């Protein structure tokens, strides 16, 4: 029996355990408190406005042909119990309104179940951009049939990147690389190598830890999510938050000519955000 054949049952067992753990956590930290408060916790949570954060970064490594490119960055939708269709359409309409040249969605599309994917991507299919709409998966997308989520994304006309790169806009287009979920720095680096590009112009990875490999390769812009900005942060310093174990937890980081933006995302896995509003980032990239 080959090594891949041996590992497949183990992967299924790990995925089943992760799904069970996430389901229990969702019941205890989300559904139960909300039920005890008569639905008010969720109602207050989804009533928070989604902020549009306008940013501009410059890099000597950014291609001159795409100077001034506007990228809409959407992440951590967590479509499911906490974020339903109405809230999803608020996010979709906000992205459509900015008329970005490229749209990047960096993982955790669904919260728990791949059964949510068809409706989710029916709505995300409304997103259009000149250079395309790109998607990578996050850890929650791997809880239940990740291949089905990729299939739904592609059927909806979105470009789902699974450890691969593509030229957006044709032969001389922007080189966009995207990796599947990995929880470690070496794992992210290995997946980036599999993309088949020694470098990229734009790198999409759910885990901000991927920036370590991106910085080494001089990739000018990396977009990530995963942390939700901590969901609870200190007023005036968003990097003092609940994900204190994550070195790259929120906002903009720069190492020489390599930039990383870690968005708060629009969804959540428990119904509380303090000094950490849901957001959609709109990034203008400049050639320095």
Query: pLDDT of 220-272, one tens digit each?
Result: 999 999 999 999 999 888 889 989 888 999 999 999 999 999 999 999 988 88
DSSP state of 28: I
What is the model's pLDDT at position 4? 45
CA distances from 184 to 66, 120, 138, 190 (A): 31, 28, 13, 10
Residue 209 predicted with pLDDT over 90: yes
Beta strands in the chain (DSSP E): 51-59, 69-74, 102-106, 133-136, 159-160, 164-168, 174-178, 202-204, 221-224, 233-234, 237-241, 251-255, 258-262, 279-287
For β-strands 258-262 and 233-234, DSSP reports them as unpaired
Fold assignment, 50-287:
Purple Acid Phosphatase; chain A, domain 2 (3.60.21)
Q: List CB contacts of 147: < 8 A, sequence separation 6 or more.
A: none
Q: What is the pTM of this model?
A: 0.92
């Amino acid at each position: 029996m080959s090594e891949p054949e041996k590992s497949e049952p183990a992967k299924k067992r790990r995925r089943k355990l992760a799904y069970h753990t996430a389901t229990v956590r969702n019941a205890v930290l989300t559904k139960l408190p909300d039920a005890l408060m008569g639905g008010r916790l969720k109602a207050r949570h989804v009533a928070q406005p989604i902020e549009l954060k306008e940013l501009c970064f410059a890099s000597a490594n950014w291609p001159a042909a795409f100077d001034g490119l506007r990228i809409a960055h959407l992440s951590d939708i967590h479509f499911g119990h906490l974020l339903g269709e109405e809230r999803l359409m608020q996010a979709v309409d906000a992205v459509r309104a900015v008329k970005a040249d490229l749209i990047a969605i960096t993982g955790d599309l669904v919260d728990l179940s791949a059964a949510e994917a068809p409706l989710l991507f029916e709505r995300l299919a409304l997103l259009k951009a000149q250079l395309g709409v790109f998607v990578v998966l996050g850890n929650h997308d791997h809880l239940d049939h990740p291949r089905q989520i990729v299939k739904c994304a592609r059927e909806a006309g979105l470009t789902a990147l699974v450890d691969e790169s593509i030229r957006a806009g044709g032969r001389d287009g922007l080189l966009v690389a995207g990796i599947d979920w990995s929880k470690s720095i070496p794992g992210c680096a290995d997946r980036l190598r599999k993309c088949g590009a020694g470098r990229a112009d734009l790198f999409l990875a759910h885990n901000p830890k991927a920036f370590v490999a991106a910085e080494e390769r001089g990739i000018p812009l990396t977009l990530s999510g995963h942390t939700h900005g901590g969901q609870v942060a200190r007023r005036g310093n968003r990097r003092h938050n609940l994900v204190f174990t994550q070195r790259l937890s929120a906002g903009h980081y720069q190492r020489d000519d390599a930039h990383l933006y870690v968005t708060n995302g629009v969804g959540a896995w428990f119904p509380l955000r303090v000094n950490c509003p849901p957001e959609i980032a709109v990034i203008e990239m400049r050639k320095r």
